[in-house]
Chains A and B, each alone.
Chain A
Amino acid sequence: DAKTTQPPSMDCAEGRAANLPCNHSTISGNEYVYWYRQIHSQGPQYIIHGLKNNETNEMASLIITEDRKSSTLILPHATLRDTAVYYCIVRGVSGAGSYQLTFGKGTKLSVIP
Chain B
Amino acid sequence: EAGVVQSPRYKIIEKKQPVAFWCNPISGHNTLYWYLQNLGQGPELLIRYENEEAVDDSQLPKDRFSAERLKGVDSTLKIQPAELGDSAVYLCASSPRQGPYNEQFFGPGTRLTVL
Number of interface residues of A (CB under 8 A): 23
| CB-CB contacts below 8 Å: B3-55 with A | 4, 31, 40-45, 48
Question: Which residue of A32, A94, A100 contacts B45 across the interface (Cβ within 8 Å)?
Answer: A100
* Contact A42-B42, Cβ < 8 Å, known A32-B100, A99-B48: no
Chain A hits for B107, CB < 8 A? 43
Do the beta carbons of A105 and B106 come within 8 Å of each other? no
Question: From DSSP, what is the main secondary structure of chain B's interface residues?
Answer: loop
Q: How far is the CA of A105 from the CA of B41 in the complex (A)?
A: 5
Do the beta carbons of A99 and B109 come within 8 Å of each other? no
Instruction: Tell whether B80 is near chain A: CB-to-CB under 8 Å.
Output: no
| Segment of A16-24, A61-69, A70-78, A85-93 engaged in the interface with chain B | A85-93
Q: How far is the CA of A49 from the CA of B102 in the complex (A)?
A: 10
Instruction: Tell whether B99 is near chain A: CB-to-CB under 8 Å.
Output: yes
Q: How far is the CA of A87 from the CA of B56 in the complex (A)?
A: 23
Do the beta carbons of A103 and B42 come within 8 Å of each other? yes
Question: Which residue of A43, A49, A96 contacts B91 across the interface (Cβ within 8 Å)?
Answer: A43
Give 20 A-B contacts (CB < 8 Å), ordered by A residue.
A32-B100, A42-B109, A43-B91, A43-B106, A43-B107, A43-B109, A46-B103, A46-B104, A46-B105, A49-B103, A91-B100, A98-B98, A98-B99, A99-B31, A99-B48, A99-B95, A99-B98, A99-B100, A101-B43, A106-B42
